[in-house]
C-alpha cells in the first residue's frame, strides 16, 4: 500500500531527515520519500502491520503537523 501524508512545518533537510527516520522506524514501513517543496511524505507500507494513525503519530512526535 502507499499513502501520502501532508506534513506541515518542514523547512530544511534536517526536517526531511527527521520525518524520514521517524517513519522508517515503524514496523511495516518499506519506503519513505519526503518532498519538502510539496510538504508531503509518501510512504510505502504493509497493510495490517502499520496504520495511518501510527504514521501520523510518528511524524507528530517529531514536532510536525500532519493534515
**pTM for this model (two decimals):** 0.96
Name the grid cell of 41: 511524505
The three grid cell numbers given for residue 25, joined into one nine-digit string? 522506524
In the chain, which ranges are continuous DSSP H helix? Answer: 13-24, 52-60
- The DSSP code for 23 is H
pLDDT at 7: 98
pLDDT value for 19: 98
Q: Express each pLDDT in 15-60 by its tens digit.
A: 999 999 999 999 999 999 999 999 999 999 999 999 999 999 999 9
Provide mean pLDDT across the span 1-15: 97
Amino acid at each position: 500500500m502507499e499513502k501520502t501524508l501532508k506534513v506541515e512545518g518542514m523547512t530544511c533537510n534536517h526536517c526531511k531527515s527527521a520525518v524520514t527516520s521517524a517513519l522508517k522506524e515503524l514496523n511495516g514501513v518499506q519506503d519513505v520519500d519526503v518532498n519538502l517543496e510539496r510538504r508531503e511524505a509518501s510512504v510505502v507500507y504493509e497493510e495490517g502491520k502499520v496504520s495511518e494513525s501510527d504514521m501520523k503519530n510518528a511524524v507528530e512526535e517529531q514536532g510536525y503537523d500532519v493534515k
